[in-house]
A and B are shown apart, each in its own frame.
Chain A
Amino acid sequence: MNAHIEIEQLIDDHGQELYRYLWRMFGDDNEAQNCLQDTYIRTMGALARLNGNANYRAWLYRIATNASLTHLKRRSRSHQRENSLHPFLSAKDPTPLQVVTEQELLQRVALAIEQLPQMQRAALTLRKYQELSYTKIGTALDCSPEAARANVYQALRKLRTELKDEE
């Protein structure tokens, strides 16, 4: 078995997808890049265990998630997403008040996401935006598919509570 070829193939097959996942977790190009590098360095160490495992994709997500948790812990709490505040507008011809209200909502949701437990945040991202099955999310987060599902719904419930509390 040649580990060198394996790792290159894993980068070619999944590197971009993982980058997009990490980019969503961090909202920052640099952090996503660093973390992707870290993910593949960790993957090299785990290759012996991964080999023969059909589910590389879920495993890579697991390693990427673990790497992102380390990075997120290191990052200061005050850090805010940078890409988060481009406008979204639900009305076609919004009044200035609507624009302000929606910007505020966006900011509050962005902040609430930062405060979610990491497992919940990762689970929600994986389900909704990386479109992984609950089985794969379970592998990625080292939990059962049921727990993976529970984490996604808890994340949504928690976000709703946070938003309500501030009103």
Chain B
Amino acid sequence: MKNKLRAQNKADARWLGDAIGPTSADPLHTALDALFAADPEMDSATAAARLVRTSLASDQAAVWYDQAEIEPIGNVMLAVTVRGLAALDFGVTKDIFISEVRRGLKSIPQHNPNKLSAIVKQVREYLLGKRTEFDLALDMRLMTDFQRTVLQATQTVPHGSVATYGEIAKRIGKPKAARAVGQALGRNPIPLVIPCHRVLASDGSLGGYSGGGGLATKLQLLQLEGALK
């Protein structure tokens, strides 16, 4: 039995090109070759690559923005790309928002309410208390790698509950990085949608909030979600 396995392994190695030697007929090898070795038409591979090239060229650079008045937080600025929502901010001027997005994504944002309308609708529903989860694609390029890890972990904190900076640090495997987690959350380019407001200081105090309105907004959001009585 063992010998048979060893011989089989050797035959596999020769078939894979891992060992030199003559290959012998093996029904599995023959079947795999029949299934896989056939190449797709050269033309379709070329056409596929060309199609990708054209569609990326026209779309990849585009950034679209819009603003909306949404109670209770006021004027909300949003920017989206083909990948998804890249930035959301409130309590900033349009000019500052646009210049930050332009610098981060290296592309001039174009005003296009159509591209943002579905997102604005979800944000409105959320702030009215009619939505507990966002169903949106996100473009996370405005974050550093560390920030992305932190914010992805933050996305798992559900509506109506809270976590601490230390817990998020533990969750990403860096239990000592609570302070760095706090800083990463403070620079969240997509607040509300990535719920950095659900992360509090370890002593139960609110910690910080860099969004417009500061801690008052954080408190307001947590009350809206029913996380604070």
On A, residues with C-beta under 8 Å from B are 3-4, 7-8, 11-12, 15-17, 19-20, 23-24, 27, 29, 32-33, 36-37, 40-41, 44-45, 49, 81, 83-84, 86, 88, 90, 105-106, 109-110, 113, 124-125, 127-129, 131, 149, 152-153, 156, 159-160, 163
Contacts and interface: CB of A to CB of B under 8 A. Distances in A.
A19 B34 contact: no
Given A29-B40, A41-B83, A156-B28, A7 B49 contact: no
A40 B38 contact: no
A19 B30 contact: no
A40 B52 contact: yes
Contacts of B140: 45
Contacts of B141: 45
A27 B39 CA distance: 10
A156 B32 CA distance: 10
Contacts of B18: 149
Q: Interface residues of A: mostly helix, strand, loop or mixed?
A: helix
Given A36-B49, A84-B35, A160-B8, A128 B40 contact: no
19 contacts: A8-B53, A11-B49, A11-B52, A19-B44, A20-B45, A27-B35, A32-B40, A36-B52, A41-B60, A44-B60, A84-B35, A88-B30, A105-B27, A105-B31, A106-B31, A125-B36, A128-B16, A160-B8, A160-B28
Contacts of B37: 129
A33 B34 CA distance: 22
Q: Would you list the 3 A-B pairs with minimal beta carbon distance, nearest first?
A: A15-B49, A88-B34, A16-B45
A90 B25 contact: yes
Contacts, number: 108
A127 B60 CA distance: 32
B16 A37 contact: no
A90 B30 contact: yes
Contacts of A24: 36
A49 B148 CA distance: 14
B35 A110 contact: yes
B17 A41 contact: no
B9 interface: yes
B12 A153 contact: yes
Contact of A16 (B25, B36, B49): B49
A17 B18 CA distance: 22
Contacts of A90: 25, 30
B48 A16 contact: yes
